[in-house]
Amino acid sequence: MSDTAIFGGGCFWCLEPVFKSLRGVSAAIPGYAGGHIQNPTYEQVCSTTTGHIEVVQVTFDPTIISFETLLQVFFATHDPTSVDRQGNDVGSQYASAIFCQTPEQEETVKKVIDEVQAELGEPVVTRVLGSEQFWPAEQYHHDYYLRNPNQGYCHAVISPKLSKFRKRYASLIAA
């Protein structure tokens, strides 16, 4: 049994290793969703003219990890209060977004957003969107951090984020 969740929270290079490391997640695939052209390229998405958001499609077993737990990890590992940016990554392709696959997911998302807003004390700007076509990113984006841990962006941005995540969510990480 598996379900699917699609999250946009800045660069997909940052999201993929977080979700891939969770127990109960069988896949986390970087890609694009929400735009108006079919099968976009990275360059097209970065131009911000296609309407796509960089996302990770997460396949998970809800008997092992709940959608709500995935949401809690998602909100804890990016800034859901900044519009179209994460740190130095700026542009509409870096929007905080959740592409709800079912009405139940949408209901859970709204509940968790209310909790996160109360905890942060400021508005969450994460877009709550419906199910959209997911387009896998080009192969060189898959496992980018795993294959390039010493690359500048990976070392400066992703490594510290993963370290913080691993400390906070150690109990959820697959062995």
Q: Which residues are catalytic?
A: 11
The 8 Å CB, 24+ separation contacts for 32-40 are 32/93, 32/134, 32/135, 32/137, 33/6, 33/8, 33/57, 33/97, 33/99, 33/132, 33/133, 33/134, 33/135, 34/8, 34/97, 34/99, 34/129, 34/132, 38/133, 38/135, 39/135, 40/135
- Enumerate residues 6+ apart whose C-beta is below 8 A from 121: none
DSSP 135: E
Rounded CA gap, 10 and 92, in Å? 9
Q: Compute the residue count for the chain.
A: 175
